[in-house]
Structure 1
């Protein structure tokens, strides 16, 4: 597994983990979930590369190998991810592996950002991978999950006053995050729509995307409901969507919202099977 640093147009260094296949049939840009370091997905990338899918895991700003830190002077958000980071890494991938299908995907938040990028570049993407990807709209949850989302939406604006970042490590949801990003996430939770700030109609162009999508869900995922998974897929109105639910038979004890990534044998097998009949 190699570590590389890609420079975005704004000068930011974007760390990635790179697992190239010996004989690549496709490339995949994989994005982490909220608050999770890219290194968690190294087993997934390694497994996919042995199946011919060269995989890059992009570090989020403010996490893992990134030199940025959330705080009063940090304003990075979904905007930078979509307009700076992903384009830079996608261009780098194209240079590394030419003339092969380009896939994009991610875990939870990373899946949503992959959806938005595909909407902005429908002709560039040949496949989308969702992993434990459920939209955080309050209305798609009930009970304890719903109360947690409601509480987070009340608290996030207060953290802009103090401590200047979102302290997810103290709350049990995410890690230290940029307030600007979490305010955008809050809009998703309240509206149930992918738009945020002045960015409107973000998924409209997905009507032009008719490629394949795979959505992998996992047993014991406490941050997911069937309705939330479907909302995450809802922009893909003309795509060919494959839904696969993985349990103990495929994943053994490695289940849940993030536990699957520690030993993702079932996920690797499911994605490989999907690639075999879609590419």
Structure 2
């Protein structure tokens, strides 16, 4: 396991690369769900590495370890994550590839926004998990209630007060830049 810092596009991205002990079968990039830190995916990344895959996890700018200043000063939104962060991570993954296929393993948002990266064509294969439409009225009753509470109460009240979305304190999603939360709520 090796920490990697990417600083393209005036953004700080923290990645972790897991190298297999055997010949690399493929490079897998694990793209997180909204507000989920890459640390959540490390057990599967370790396991995949033990199976012969090089695995790269990352935090979008303003999430987890990809924070280089107070969160209220980070103006990043979801389109920036797609167009800038994913682009940088794909460039990095390709530089590590050495001929091995590149696989995009995405959870939720990570599968929804990858097509906005101008270099998404570098991906050889893609697997998405729970990357549906995100339309809250098509979700279960519990998720509909939680979504309504998040988007129409918690986010509009707490985000302007804190200057970012304090999801950790609210036990909802996770901390994230205000622009990303506003955009997600609007979508």
Smaller-chain TM-score bracket: 0.7 to 0.9
TM-superposition CA deviations, 1:18-56 (whole Å, max 9, x none):
012331121111122233221221221121122232110
Pairwise mapping of residues 95-244 of structure 1 onto structure 2 (< 5 A)? 95-114=95-114, 116-117=116-117, 120-121=118-119, 123-155=121-153, 156-188=155-187
The RMSD of aligned alpha carbons is 2.1
Q: Which has the higher contact order (CA 8 A, sep 6+)?
A: 2
Conserved 8 A contact 2:83-2:116: no
| Residues 17 and 140 of structure 1, relative CA distance in 2, 3 Å threshold | same
Q: What SS does structure 1 have at the residue aligned with 2:180?
A: helix
Tell me which residue corresponds to 1:4. Answer: 4
Unaligned runs of 5+ in 1: 189-279
Cα contact 1:115–1:128 (8 A) shared by 2: no
How many angstroms apart in 1 are the aligned matches of 2:6 and 2:57? 12
Is the radius of gyration larger for structure 1 or structure 2? 1
Paired residues of 1:105 and 1:114 also in contact (CA < 8 A): no
Unpaired stretches in structure 2, ≥5 consecutive residues: none
TM-score w.r.t. structure 1 length?
0.59
Distance 1:135 1:78, change over 3 A: same
Residue 176 to residue 142, structure 1, CA distance change in 2 (3 Å): same
Contact kept, 8 Å, 1:18 with 1:55, in 2: the verdict is yes
Cα deviation, residue 176, structure 1: 1.5
- How much does 1:151 deviate? 2.2
* Structure 1 counterpart of 2:27: 27
TM, length-normalised to structure 2: 0.85
1:13 aligns with 2:28: no
